[in-house]
Structure 1
Amino acid sequence: MAELLTGAARDERRAAVADLGAALRELVDAAVRTEVAAPDLAAAAAAARRLAAELRAGGRGLFEVASVDDPVAGERWYSPVYGPGSPVAPPLLVESEGGGTVTARVTVPKALEGPPGLAHGGTIATLLDHVLARALRSAGRGGLTATLTVTYRRPVRLGVEHLLHAEVAGTEGRRSTARARIVAADDPGTVLAEGEGLFVALRPEAAAATFAGVDHAPEAWTARS
């Protein structure tokens, strides 16, 4: 079981995790764009496997939470959406405005391409889903996505900064709804995609069953008083 770090020890490790994550994102970008010769690809693959073996020597289990995380606060440093340590995260930068409203910035990289030059539709849905959930968190609500409806209006282009805005639309018992949109930073008046989600907060017993085997309590997804 990984012990959650706090204070200076966590800050030091988070800085190292973020640095490695940034380097790996550079590597992923290079890998999906390279046209070097096949022998060079083979050499790079061998080097990557050697590095993977070094990192795996100190690995954690599949259900273990990273020592740099704060699950209750929603800080997941290897999140594939925003995690500084993730080699596949765009990453999405979220700012909470409080009271159920958040804004975010993101530039979708080549690794998340769908049609040539455009973000994959699944990537857009993932980004919208995340900011919807963060809007709920800013309102003091927990929960998992029950339904997500995405309306694609115009393409989301690679390499261009985009803005997302999400806000809670309503709550009733353990159920909450939220709405979000994504626009290009240089054209905020044109909506490119919209999302609407229904989120359901888990009862404690349901949370215990859903996260069975996870080594830290899942309070962030449970009903709040």
Structure 2
Amino acid sequence: MTEAHEPLRSAWDTTKEDPGKWAQKRRLADAMRLVIERLVSSDAPEDELRRAADALERYGDALEAHPRLRFVHGYAESANAGDVSAFFDRSPMIGLANPLAPPITIAKTGERTAEARAVFSSAYEGPPGHVHGGFVAAAFDEVLGFVQSLSGRPGMTGTLIVRYRRPTPLHTELRFTAAYVRSEGRRLYTEARVHAGDVLCAEAEGVFVSIARERFEALEAERAAREAERAR
């Protein structure tokens, strides 16, 4: 088991080029997570909610006025990278600059293993007081994608099987343990578990399909074309 769970960095982490801006981007994402968490359970009066919505809409308009990133840095999920030290700030599960992410932190613990930690807020609730099963599955997909990247081969999820053993609690540190098991041709086999303390909440098996780098480059080119069209 590892003690530190700092998000991994790569040599081409763009936060090094403009650390002040990225620090504030991550700070803003943290603030937005806090707003989401408190809004879900808040009984604030109508006038206050209206003022807050007006302010957020104005800031959304202000962001729209700025140029969009010319290049989308890094990857949105670790499975696509084939490199566990790539840059994932945009990820909806582990991205520090993405307010949708809990975020999950992941650390490599061996040549084929990793451990992740996460705390899900009320915004992720399914059963009363517990994490929605869809978010548990998404977390497994991210963690399993990370360990399949230990193969050094980028891939996409082919099959994800989740077995829910106990309800997964909110506001509790969850510990995921995952392993890259084996490969058969293009298929990469992985497995993981998530515990809340000593309680096993769920288990998962994932089969990822290794994809040629050229295919990802084609997807990146398509994304760039769509972003350029949106910017017009």
Task: Please confirm whether the aligned pair reaches a TM-score higher than 0.5, indicating the same fold.
Answer: yes
How high is the TM-score relative to the length of structure 1? 0.83
Q: Note closer, same or farther for the CA distance 1:32–1:210 as it changes in structure 2 (3 Å cut).
A: same
How far, CA to CA, are the matches of 2:15 and 2:45 in structure 1? 47
Match of 2:34, SS state, is helix
Q: CA deviation at 1:11?
A: 3.1
One-letter amino acid of the counterpart of residue 205, structure 2: E
For 1:74-102, what per-residue CA distance to the aligned partner results, in whole angstroms no more than 9, with x for missing partners?
32212110111111211101001241211
Q: CA deviation at 1:138?
A: 2.4
Q: Does 1:9 align with 2:21?
A: no
Structure 1 portions without partners, runs of 5+: 217-225
Which residue of 137, 161, 175 corresponds with 1:149? 161
Residues 80-99 of structure 1 mapped to structure 2, 5 A cutoff: 80-99=92-111
Instruction: Point out the more displaced range, 102-111 or 36-45.
Output: 36-45
Q: Distance in 2 between matches of 1:114 and 1:146?
A: 25
- Give the alignment's Cα RMSD to 1 decimal: 2.6
Which residue matches 1:182?
A: 194
Q: 1:113 to 1:198 in 2, by over 3 A?
A: same
Partner of 2:5: none
**Partner in structure 1 of residue 40 of structure 2:** 32
Distance in 1, matches of 2:100 and 2:36, equals 8
Matched, 1:199 2:211: no
Which of residues 139, 153, 156 in structure 1 aligns to 2:151? 139
Matched to 1:132, the amino acid is L
Matches of 2:20 and 2:157, distance apart in 1: 33
**Counterpart amino acid of 1:81?**
M
The one-letter amino acid of 1:17's match is: K
Structure 2 gaps of 5+ residues are 1-11, 226-232
1:122 to 134, 146, 156: 134
TM-score, length of structure 2 as denominator length: 0.81
* 8 A contact 1:163–1:182 mirrored in 2: yes
Instruction: Determine the C-alpha separation between the residues in 1 that align with 2:13 and 2:105.
Output: 23
Aligned partners of 1:101, 1:193: CA distance in 2, in Å? 18
Contact 2:193–2:202 at 8 Å: present in 1 too? yes
Matched residues in 1 for 2:142 and 2:221: separation?
23
- 1:212–1:116: structure 2 CA closer, same or farther, 3 Å change rule? same
User: Which has a greater percent of helix?
Assistant: 2
Q: Residue in 2 aligned with 1:42?
A: 50
Question: Counterpart in 2 of 1:219?
Answer: none
Query: CA–CA distance in 2 between the matches of 1:100 and 1:108?
Result: 26
Deviation at 1:212, TM superposition (A): 4.2
Sequence identity of aligned pairs in percent?
33
